[in-house]
Amino acid sequence: MSPERFEIFLDRNPRACRAMLMVMVYRLRQADRQRLEYRACSVTERIAGRLLFFSDQTGEPMTDGGVRIGIRLTMPELAATVAAGRDMTVKAMSRLRALEVVRTDAACRPFAVSPPPSA
């Protein structure tokens, strides 16, 4: 559809125009939050937050209280979601595994967010 036809469509369909504006506002707010997060949080914190987001969106409860993440990400893919390099992502995942809050598969892809370790 040409830009002109799309503009005519939006002029004739105010509900569609409003829906489009709501999507744009949501995406702008999301981008603003992301920029603030990148400045204020370490790579480890950003990865932990992203894994929590993925577990909320795609997770399935596990019998041990953890949550299995429903998508499989490689380290470069995970790094891209938090604007970090692969090496920093590998180090951050090592920290999270050492804290026993994340488990990975044989290829080191995160697959589960673990419950807090018992005291």
Listed in sequence order, the DSSP H helices in the chain are 3-12, 14-40, 43-58, 75-81, 86-98
Interval 58-116: pLDDT, tens: 888 888 888 888 888 888 999 999 989 999 999 999 999 899 888 887 766 667 777 66
Structural domain count of the chain: 2
**Domain residues for 28?**
1-40
Residues 46 and 95 reside in one and the same domain: yes
Note if the pTM is more than 0.85. no
Amino acid type, 5: R
Task: Check whether residue 51 and residue 36 sit in a common domain.
Answer: no
